[in-house]
Structures are given as structure tokens and as C-alpha cells.
Chain A
């Protein structure tokens, strides 16, 4: 009997230990990741929510750029935090760093227990919708209409706006140009295309000479989606796709026509052989090895053509970019871009120090805008004065394009809710491998949008 009691007590102790270990893990993970001085606050999370007697306020900030993998961004955040603390002596920022996937998971767990950090990063549209619906994020309209008015590139905050209320402010912005190899173009006497007909001629010429026209990795369907989106935009104009997703109606004739054009390019062998089975990395390698003349990709690739020391200068000099050409009879402006903001800053609705947190967000957005291009090659969502900073020419050109942008259409897969987005990837892959007809593409995409999930 005595033994039984002992065993039971041990079991109880063991279980308590397990529970305690679970509870503690949340606190530990922050300290493990960062070693900077501003990280030391993470371990005292419990006390950080209260205002200390001297009127000092501690804000928790969670971001997703670990020192190891995203050093440039990590350094910028650290220096902004430091400067902010110097200028606002009563506010302390305690930083927690996680890498991308862990960050997403932790955000979910924290929101389930209503303990989001005061300030954090979120992705736009589909990703943040559940948080907005659950009243987890605070509205930031006052900042947008106040001190940050006119600072953002047109259309970048829309992805974070629900029913007219903006819940996060973007810090990154990417647009998708077509990068091309000038040397290959010169060899065959080709010029940057102005119309879709020009583009088709270029593809024909390159194919006739045994050069791969376009590097595309269809296994990563989001890259093929870029091509589809540009057709849809150039045919149907500024708001075609935004409205299709917002109204859960994918039946506009231009959307179908875009699918027809996408398959026309496939028929022309515009893309690499077997591209539906290739990943983006494999396709990119063909472009970097000059086995393909064009590559449509986000502006995040620009460091590879400008500043990356691992890429030979000789190659960098050969690379330029052009805007997707216009279509005959299409309503799309040549200054319309596919693209979108990456992550944006949110303030937690449950934060005890919302005013201070907003102050930091505003400060962060402005500082980030000043230094992110020159120091990290990250294009901010705020307007950049290209005369004030010294940058590689390709950045300046891109930034000027951005300032002249008529409209930036957010990536379809980001606009859509998760289930529709996953199916979009599938359908794009099926469309580009000619497994389905444009009509099936439209009807199936329409059906899954209407599910509303």
C-alpha cells in the first residue's frame, strides 16, 4: 500500500514536471535565439507587462529575422530599437526573434491565449484575416491619416485594410518585373518588348536559335501565377483581380482569356522543358547560368544582380529588367505591377500600452524607410528619395518605377483565403501543364472562392 502511494506521488510529480516544462518553454525560446543586449528582456516576460514605478513602459516586439539567416534586417531592427529607446527614455523595447515558420506557429499559439506581443509582424490579407476577425489587432488609421500620411507607395496598405480599417503597416514592398539577359538579347538583335506581340516574337526568335526563352519553375506554382496575373491585369485593368477575389466571383471573361494566353505561351515552348516539375530554384539556376533569357521574379532577386558578392560582376552587368508588355485591346496600364507588401507591423488590441506601441510603429516605419534599401537591399513600402541615398542603378530604376506605379495588384495567392489559395496553386499548375482547359480553370477557381474558406 505504501509503495502504491509512493508510485502515485512520483507519477504526480512527473506529470507536474511535464506541465511545468510546457509552460516554461514559451519564455525560453526568445532568449535562445538572440544574443543582442535588447534580447535580455525576453526572459523577464512576466514582469514586462506592468508599468514599473518610475513610469517606465516595456513593449514586447516579436520579429522574424534571426541574426543568422537575415543578418541585415536583424541589424536594422536592432539599431532602430536602440535609437528609439535613446529618444524615449521611459520606453523599453523587449525583442523576441523567431524564424519564419516558428514565428507563424507562435503567433497562432499566442493569439489563442490572448497574449500577442504589443508589436509584431503579420502577412497581408488572407493570413491576417482571422486575427482581424478575432479583434486581435488594433486599428492604425490614426497613424495613416496623421504623421504617416502620404508616406506609403500607393496601394500598399490596402492588403492590410478590412472594411476601411487598416490593421497593420507594411515595411516591405516587392514588385515583379521581368529580368532579362541583355547579352542574349543583343546577340539575336532583340529589343525590350513593348507589346505582347513583341514578346511572342522574342520567344520565337530565341526558340529558333535554341535558347530557352523563359526560366520558370512551375512546381512552385506561385511563380507561374505571376504570369497568369500579368495577363489578367493587362487584359482587364486595375481592379479586375481585386474585385474577383473580394466578390468571390472568378467568372469575368478577361480572367478566362488570361488563362488562354498562358496556355498559348506554354504551346509556344516559352518555358523550360519540363518546367512544371522544376522548382523555382532550379529554374533560377538556368537563368543565372545564362541558359535562359528571361526570368519573371520579385524584386527581392535584385541583390543577385547588384550587390551579392558571390555572383560574378560580369553576369550582373548583363542583367536588366522590363515591365510586362501591354496587350492589344487590353485595359491594363503598363505601369500596373503584380507585387505586394511582405510583412507589416501590427499593434495588439490587448496591449496595455497602445499609444506607446503606435508611437514605436510610426517611428519604425519612418526609420526603416530611410535605411532599409541602402543597408539591406530591402525595398520599403514607404516612398524613397532616390537622390538622397547612393544605390546601385537597378534599385534606383526600380524605385522610380514604384513611385510612378499606377497600381500594385497583390499576389492572387496572398489575396485569397487559405483553402482557395492552395487550390489556386494547384489549378495554376494544372493550367500550365495543360491538364485542364481555361474553362475548367475558371469554373473550379470560382467554385473554391465561393466556398469562402
Chain B
């Protein structure tokens, strides 16, 4: 058996199906997307080569930069919310009674699909019969906000469900990482007289810094390409006030049937995500690798 598995040709053969799959459904389409971006194409008529026309138009497209700013806003907010997730994970990993149950409660939203979450929060935000405005009216607020119809607050209104949706995921990651820290390290610090705050800030957080970097990348890239919840809750409206890059791409490609332009947006989105990932990697690079003593 071992002999067979060490044969390069056999390895290649076994890997082949997944390589083919991933090439044909991930990498080739990405290349095609970039390629279609060079054309003016409505999906039916002949494709017309326009060179960099779509990309030039993109650079001058106010609405694209508007949606890019919204994506960036979501990325920043998601990164900031990681701090809150980390605090919760620190609390949970301590000797808090009931932390087991709490951990499970936080995880529930992650098990729901974005569609269900969006529908749920649509009900919460309903301007006249939603629970939020009902409570606000009950405590005497007049002119309750139209959460999803007001361009000034719609981004915040969408951000809350996202914060809630991903809480379980990141808390779980942090929790697992924190649990991985050897008890001996903490014990030693305690003997040296460090209080719980110092232990958390000076020992635990630095020790899971690699995990934190990964979550930052996940949060930023995830936010940049975020689509489903926004699409269902507002469709990018009102008047593009909650449009993000992915929903703008969708509306250009599939509502305006401007597939060439849509493709160029999609390809730019990919480039922006790559650059963001690379930047975060560069900014957080550290020389020394952490090792828990023997």
C-alpha cells in the first residue's frame, strides 16, 4: 500500500479529479471573467472587443467607488468587531460559569443560512410592525427610524445582523486557540503575580496572534465580497445607499445585462481582495515564531 501511495504517477492520478474540478470551476472562470471584461457584451449579441474600455469606465464610475467605499466600511467595521469577539472568547475561556451554554448560544446564528437571517432581520426592522420599532414606540420614541429605508442608517442596520451572524464563528476560533495555550504558561504567570487582565493582554493575546491575523484576513476579504444578506435585505437600495461591490456587479451583469462591465467589476473585486490580503500579511508580518516551551 505504502509503495503505491509513494508512486508519483498514482498520486497525480488521485489528485487529478480535484485539480480538474478546481481548475474548471474556479480558476478558468476567473480567467474568463477577466477576459470578458475586455468586451462589450449583453449576453445575446456578438461580443465587441473594447480593450480596456470597461476598466477605464470603472475607474471613473462614481457608483462603483461609492459601493467600494461601502465594502471597505464593512471591512473596517468587521475588523473592529473582532475585538469584541476576542473579549467574549477571553471571558468564555476563563472560569465563567455557564460558559459552555453561552458558547453554544453564540454559535446558533452561524448555523442559519444568510437568507433566513436576512428574512428574520427584515421582520425585526419592519418600519411599522417590526419588534424594534414596536419597542421604541412603547418607550415613547416618536418618528421611529425607517431602518432600511433611510440612506443614513441603512449600512448600520445591515451591519448589526452581520455582527450577530459571524459572532459564533470567530468566537469559536478564538476559543479553540485560547484553549490550546498550555495551562503551564498561565500557571507560571499567575505564580509571578500577574492578574487576570495582564494574563489576558500580555500572555494569551500574543500567544494567539497568528490566529488573530488569520481572522483579520478572513473578516476583511469576507466583507469585501459580502453579498447575500445585503441583496436580500435591501437589494443595494435605497438609491444605492447600501450597494457593495458584489451587489453592484450583480446589478450591472444580471439586471442591466452588461456582462462585459459586470465582469470587469468582478475581476477588480478579485484584485482588490488579493491586494487587501497581501497588505494585511505585510502589515502584520512578524519575524519570531511563537513556540510553547518544550
Where the two chains meet, the residues of A that have a C-beta atom closer than 8 Å to any C-beta of B are: 3-4, 6-7, 10-11, 14-15, 18, 108, 111-112, 130-131, 133-134, 218-219, 221, 272-278, 282, 418-419, 421-423, 425-426, 429-430, 433, 435-436, 453
Contact = CB atoms under 8 A, between A and B. Distances in A.
Contact of B146 (A111, A131, A276, A430): A276
Given A429-B238, A433-B238, A112 B149 contact: no
Interface in B233-275: 234-235, 237-241, 251-252, 255-258
B50 interface: no
Given A111-B44, A273-B128, A435-B239, A218 B149 contact: yes
B256 A418 contact: yes
Contacts of A6: 9
B36 interface: no
Contact of A418 (B17, B148, B149, B258): B258
A18 B147 CA distance: 48
A425 B127 CA distance: 22
A426 B240 contact: yes
A22 to B, nearest CB: 10
- What does DSSP make chain A's interface, helix, strand, loop or mixed? helix
A273 B146 contact: yes
B44 A433 contact: no
A452 to B, nearest CB: 12
Nearest to A15: B20
11 contacts: A6-B9, A274-B128, A274-B146, A274-B147, A274-B150, A276-B146, A276-B237, A276-B238, A278-B126, A282-B126, A421-B255
Interface in B102-126: 122, 125-126
B24 interface: yes
Question: Which of A3, A277, A419, A436 has the largest count of B CB atoms less than 10 A from its CB?
Answer: A277
Nearest to B237: A429
A274 B9 contact: no
A112 B45 CA distance: 8
Closest 9 CB pairs of A and B: A274-B127, A274-B146, A277-B149, A277-B148, A430-B239, A130-B44, A276-B149, A3-B9, A418-B257
B149 A433 contact: yes
B101 interface: no
Q: How large is the interface on B (under 10, 10 to 19, 20 to 34, 35 or more residues)?
A: 35 or more
A275 B151 CA distance: 13
A140 B16 CA distance: 53
B42 interface: yes
A423 B149 CA distance: 18
A422 B9 CA distance: 53
A4 B9 CA distance: 7
A219 B238 CA distance: 7
A352 to B, nearest CB: 22
Contact of B43 (A108, A277, A435, A436): A108
A131 B44 contact: yes
- What does DSSP make chain B's interface, helix, strand, loop or mixed? loop
Contact of B20 (A14, A276, A277, A421): A14
Given A6-B9, A418-B256, A11 B16 contact: yes
A433 B127 contact: no
Nearest to A105: B43
Contacts of B7: 3
A277 B24 contact: no
Nearest to A127: B257
B12 interface: yes
Nearest to B123: A282
Contact of A277 (B13, B146, B251, B257): B146
Given A4-B9, A430-B238, A14 B146 contact: no
A7 B12 contact: yes
B149 A134 contact: no
Nearest to A10: B13
Contacts of A423: 256
A275 B149 contact: yes
B36 to A, nearest CB: 13
Question: Which of B20, B238, B258 has the largest count of A CB atoms less than 10 A from its CB?
Answer: B238
Contact of B24 (A18, A218, A282): A18
Question: Which of B46, B151, B239 has the largest count of A CB atoms less than 10 A from its CB?
Answer: B239
Nearest to B252: A422
Interface in B192-250: 234-235, 237-241
Interface in B1-24: 7, 9, 12-13, 16-17, 20, 24
Contacts of A18: 20, 24
Nearest to B63: A426
A309 B25 CA distance: 46
Nearest to B7: A3
B22 to A, nearest CB: 13
B37 to A, nearest CB: 16
Contacts of A430: 238-239
Nearest to B149: A277
Contacts of B16: 7, 10-11, 14
